[in-house]
Chains A and B, each alone.
Chain A
């Protein structure tokens, strides 16, 4: 937050600049990054006063939109966000930074899925599983000269660790919003009309507020296909699994995406045996095929895991009356019964469904698609006729564009930029994704098949280079040489199309690539960036250096 001194010092400058900025903002295609850069270049001495300048700019932009500047003007708030998950939180923080009067409505707990029933507690479990796995790998230990005898774990202790972490992060989120002056309104939010929201107990929304802009950020819940009976004890979703109330001897995991894969890592490390049930013909659909193949070698085959692919779990019955959990498998194509599995527990990890019921979307003529709120590339909600609903946005899992916590947050920030008068379009291809198995998997941009398809359509060439963790000093020092990094790029322009990593700390390594994509850095530029030695980041350094470009006249030819 800026100090009051800074405001007063720069007040005279901002008033005039604000007007200029609003002009720039209204120019089509004048996106924020360019505007900022221009300002910094022309007026370097004023950089310190950027924040107040932008504040004023926002007001000016808002005024230009036809509303009265400031939080008055008949509206209770500049921005009301429905849902205090990671997306809503990111949007709220940025809105405050932009000087918007902001409220956030939460009907459950602050932090949403990610903090309470997703990324955060699962990372606590995975941290435990990583250590258990290491301690149990006698070969690994011995080769490093370590001697450990019979490591064990206390289930409740592990569960408490996950729960404590969630509470801690939840209170951090709550405090950060309170400290910034975001109003946290408790209740279920419903849109009752244009720029009007009611909230209160579910079904009885008794308080009504008005807002210049509304962001829907209600997130998602685990998706349970029909035929599956959840009892929360032996058949359950990630919501229950994260509480780690039991560690079954044998658990079937329905779905082999991120969630299923991470849980298989946790359960096998804690001693369970795992059976994957995957509807598609290949495990880990959605990953780059080469990465999926290697992941199968590293994360599935050597572990106590087997799998059934190309099958649906058509019926799952929880354990009762002295019978185990029964899973009926049918062929995904012919729908014929194939087999019945008898296991101790089943985790349903078949993806997530948007949580958009009760939002009152019918009041503003918006029809959801499979529950998702339709939006355009600027996250503006579209009504049934395909028109943009003014002042209404939807971010995160609820719009289904990219169901990741940090994507929701990025979308929220993008929306706040827009309502502050700066056009902004989020490049979803620059959003990294990670799967926190041991070793981790991460990716950004296109997979190789996607890149090749795009290349065919648009008529350019695609090159792929790979480096191995086996060649990395730090990885070898850690005795963790399993893994590869893969770069997909255009040899004509040097544009990075996608990067996929499987290996130690892959999730932390991906950002060099995702930042490069976001900023449009090309291989020929980034390859000169220096990396500390010896670090895992040299895996990417090697990757960029391995990428060869097509020699083109006038570009790569050196003066003779």
Chain B
């Protein structure tokens, strides 16, 4: 289950969101028309700005645009539909699309349903080392046909929680540029991972500064706690304004046959927050609260496992980042956790750190200890 929970295991409405919702409801001047097809303009620009940075040269050069979408999924789908129609020729459904192994289960479906025929995994998670398989990753980049599309996780990789370091990103970017590979970022956790918007956007901003044209599918479900309002944005970074205009005109056509006019509620909340200095600061504080709690749980889980003397190394729990952690538990051990201890995690050993609280962390640590010592 992938929603943030408080220490009482309750879903959390961010205080700033509550405040802004009330402001919106009381705003008599709000017009109630359909939103434009590409979405609320002030939302789109604020969303792209939060990803690329206030002083982004790309934004200043007027070659950045946004398409409001139904959540991160919607943003991915619109981007995928566009690429299938207009990238690497016209209607070239054979362009290979690479997704990490493992990746969020929906990546495959989105690109397949957008019409791509060739979706492949790229090496990512090294189960033995419990870390990034950089060698395998770089190798796949070298071997991929030119112009292949690669879906990259901007931060807090789902499901492993393992991100490349800045040095590793530089190596990845170098190969991608040389092999003319297309960069499609999935950014669902900005701010939520480290507590810092800038830090979590480092990879994106680095690639943009290296001159890449790229797409970023942004989701505001997690960092705004707006899971049910479907707030997403597809940021488009183009070579120049003329290209951007052409791309957006085709995006509009695609949106027109998908949902036509996106919902306004969530976009208004995010837009109001991001565009007001006070509310923006308050939001950053709320986000840091969430991120800090997760970081605390990571620290405590690792400490408890070490104190229990649980065999194996548990550094990866604090080295990984974001909502999820790949514990490294085997399927049999996971079964034990579920059946005998009633601790629910994915068969892959993925655990949602948000499910941990001060009340259950001892039990969970104990359960992992038992699973590892009793089950091979």
A, B assembled together: no
